[in-house]
Amino acid sequence: MEIIHTIARLKESLQKLRGAGKTIGLVPTMGALHAGHAALVTLCTSENDVCVVSLFVNPTQFNNKEDLRRYPRTWEEDCLLLEKIGADVLFAPSVEEMYPEPDTRVFDFGLLDKVMEGRYRPGHFNGVAQVVSKLFAFTEPDNAYFGEKDFQQLAIVRAMVKQLKMPVQIVGVPIVREAGGLALSSRNRLLTEPQKADAAHIYRVLRESIEKIEIASPDKLTDWVIDQIHKVPSLQVEYFEIVDGDSLQLVASWDDSGYVVGCITVFCGDVRLIDNIRYK
């Protein structure tokens, strides 16, 4: 695996590979890699000649400086994992390399970034669009891979690609879960073992909620999910919304859309966890 720290070197290396007719896949990450990331990389290596993984903790998508400071950083473990699963190139730039000057671009995603995560993390998705658009410009991938756990982020990236007319195929990859059902996340490293056991309750409730869509409206089911999760004292729901999977707008009836997803954010102690489940 080739480890690259500069944009110029990345472009030079990929230009040679592209010139040789190789297809290029990209997996953008912020490190602290786990089996969910491994699933992205494995799919990328199977569908492309060259798999590039970026590792960059992007400061512009953190509206909370303490959250940025606490974000797990596990460089040596990450390199070992990527070597093991067959990544070809690791692009790990510095903040100064990615942002030699402030990125003042402001993206307009309509209502997509005003709901759910966007309501509670102002500026977050603009920062995501800034860094992902830079990575796409530097890498020029044929395909780019994102986990479906970050459901709203996936919608934002797809909208950005359409807006900027970038010739890259965005591939969503299903959520990978721990044995107890907790969605894998780099933030899970911040949980104690008892907290992990409590957090597994989130997915249990979401899974059980699927059985109730025949007898409960989206509003009633929303209330039920929140009440059930709050039965575990360490869990506090920030939001749970049942939305159209494309527009991310609330649905009032199950007949409002053929693609309905429940998206949730829950604090377990001071660790913020996200998850989602598809209803139809």
Q: What positions carry a catalytic annotation? A: 37
What is the SS3 assignment for 106? coil
Length of the chain equals: 280
Residues 271 and 76: their CA atoms lie apart, in Å, by: 24
List, in sequence order, every residue forming a beta bridge with 90; answer none if it has no partner: 3, 53
Residues 174 and 201: their CA atoms lie apart, in Å, by: 20
H or E segment and range at residue 276: strand 271-278
Q: What are phi and psi of 237, to 5 degrees?
A: -75, 125
Residue ranges with strand state E in 174-257: 235-244
Q: Contact, 210 vs 238, CB < 8 A?
A: no
**Scanning the structure block, which residue is given the tokens 């009032």?**
252
Sheet bearing 260-268, strands edge to edge = 235-244, 260-268, 271-278
**Scanning the structure block, which residue is given the tokens 């602290």?**
32
